[in-house]
């Protein structure tokens, strides 16, 4: 029987809560619970401890990371995932990740703007066929990314949460709610993808490449 190290589990929960706060810059405890997949009571406990240690601040019902918190989340990742980063297979995984990531960002750009001659103008979504083609491309990229995340989830189990959130966003789109393509006010594919991208950078100790 595997022995559960409660201290390590607690530390992992704090890391997940702090990571969401760092990624979102300003959020709430229920949002942290939803994004991370942890129980609300666990998120509340983690944020209370992080506030006591000065890693987050609570202002008007919102949770904001401090400079110390941003430093701590990266220090924890350095300690927790040092051996993972040294694995050549993970480096090859990251190359595939970046390839899909780049294509997704191009596709979201195609959703937001359309070519008119040599210029691009905001997409008013009057061309249903165009939008359908873009959504189809986004769906294909989400499938590829969830399969890729599944590989990393063997080593970083909580990455599976991004798989679940991406699939949930695609279900909303399939049901006709196109806010879930890229709107920042909902858990859209772009919102989740951005958080996932930032999380991968933190876990693997990477810097964002200029595009």
Write down the pTM of the prediction.
0.88
Residue 119: pLDDT band by 50, 70, 90 thresholds? confident
Locus of tokens 């490449």:
209
H-run or E-run covering 115: strand 113-116
Q: pLDDT at residue 6 above 80?
A: no
pLDDT (average), residues 138-157 = 95
Residue 209: pLDDT band by 50, 70, 90 thresholds? low
pLDDT (average), residues 105-132 = 93
**What are the phi and psi torsion angles at 136 (to 5°)?**
-60, -40
Residue 9: pLDDT band by 50, 70, 90 thresholds? confident
The gap from C-alpha 200 to its chain's centroid, in whole angstroms, comes to 8
Percent of the chain with pLDDT over 90: 82
Percent of the chain with pLDDT over 70: 96
H-run or E-run covering 3: none
Which residues, including other chains, have CB under 8 Å from residue 108's CB and lie 6 or more apart?
138, 181, 182, 189, 190, 193
pLDDT (average), residues 160-169 = 96
Supply the mean pLDDT for the chain. 92
Q: How far is CA 22 from CA 72, 76, 144, 195, in A?
A: 10, 13, 26, 10
Cβ distance 199 to 166 under 8 Å? no
Cβ distance 73 to 56 under 8 Å? no
Q: What is the per-residue pLDDT for 8?
A: 75
Q: What is the per-residue pLDDT for 130?
A: 95
Q: What is the per-residue pLDDT for 210?
A: 56
Q: What is the per-residue pLDDT for 2?
A: 43
* Cα 160 to Cα 29: distance, rounded to the nearest angstrom: 20
Q: What is the per-residue pLDDT for 151?
A: 94
Choosing among 3.30.1360.10, 2.40.110.10, 3.30.565.10, 1.10.10.10, the CATH entry for 6-80 is 1.10.10.10
CA end-to-end distance (rounded Å), the chain: 48
pLDDT (average), residues 152-179 = 94
């Amino acid at each position: 029987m595997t022995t559960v190290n409660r201290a390590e589990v607690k530390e992992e929960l704090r890391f997940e809560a702090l990571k969401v706060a760092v990624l979102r810059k300003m959020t709430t405890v229920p949002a942290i619970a939803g994004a991370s997949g942890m129980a609300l009571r666990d998120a509340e406990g983690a944020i209370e401890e992080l506030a006591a240690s000065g890693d987050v601040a609570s202002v008007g019902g919102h949770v904001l990371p401090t400079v110390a918190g941003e430093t701590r989340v990266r220090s924890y990742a350095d300690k927790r995932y040092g051996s993972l980063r040294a694995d050549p297979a993970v480096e090859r995984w990251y190359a595939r990740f970046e390839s899909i990531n780049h294509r997704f960002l191009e596709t979201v750009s195609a959703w937001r703007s359309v070519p008119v001659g040599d210029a691009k103008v905001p997409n008013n979504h009057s061309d249903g066929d165009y939008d359908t083609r873009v959504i189809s491309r986004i769906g294909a990229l989400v499938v590829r990314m969830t399969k890729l995340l599944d590989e990393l989830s063997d080593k970083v189990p909580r990455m599976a949460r991004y798989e679940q959130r991406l699939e949930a966003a695609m279900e909303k789109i399939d049901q006709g709610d196109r806010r879930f393509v890229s709107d920042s006010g909902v858990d859209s594919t772009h919102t989740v993808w951005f958080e996932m991208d930032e999380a991968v950078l933190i876990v693997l100790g990477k810097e964002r490449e200029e595009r």
